[in-house]
Structure 1
Amino acid sequence: MADTAAMADASGQTSPDPLNLPEGDPFGPHNLPYGVFSPNPDGERRVGVRLGDHVLDAGAAAAALGSPYTSLLARPTLNTLMAAGRTTWSDVRRALTAWVTVPAHRDAVRPFLHPLSSVTLDLPFEVADYVDFYASENHATNLGRLFRPNEEPLKPNWKHLPVGYHGRSGTVVVSGTDVVRPSGQRKGPNDPAPVFGPSVRLDIETEVGYVVGAPSSQGTSVPLSSYRDHVFGLCLLNDWSARDIQAWETVPLGPHLGKSFATSVSAWITPLDALDAARVPAPERTVPLLPYLDDSAEATDATAATESCGYDLRITVALNGHVISEPPYSGMYWTGAQMLAHMTVNGASLRTGDLYGSGTISGTEDNQRGSLIEITWNGRDPLELPDGKRAFLEDGDEVTMTAWAPGPEGTRVGLGEVRGRIVPAR
Structure 2
Amino acid sequence: MTLVTDPGSFSELPSPPRPSKPDGPLGWRGYDASRARAAERTGEEESVVCGTASVTGTPAVLIAFEFGFLGGSLGERTGDRLEAAYTHARAHRLPVVPLIATGGSRMQEGMLALSQLQRVARQSALTREAGLPQIAVLRDPTTGGGWATLGAGADVVLALPGAQVGFAGSRVRPPGADPAAYTAEGQVAFGSADALVRPEELRETLGQWLRLLTTPAQAAPAPPALGAPGLPATGWAAVRRARSPERPRAQAYLDACFTHRRDIGGDRCGGADTGGMLCGFGERDGRTVAYAAQTGAATRPAGYRTAARLIRLADRLDIPVLTLVDTPGAANDAEAERQGAGAAIAEVFGAVAAARVPITTLVIGEGGSGGALALSAPGNTWATPDSYFSVIAPELAAAILKRPPEEVEATAEQLRLRPQDLVELGVIRGIVNHPQP
Q: Which has the higher strand share?
A: 1
Q: Which has the higher helix share?
A: 2
Give the structure with higher Rg (CA): 2
Q: Which has the higher contact order (CA 8 A, sep 6+)?
A: 1
TM-score computed with the length of structure 2 as normaliser: 0.26
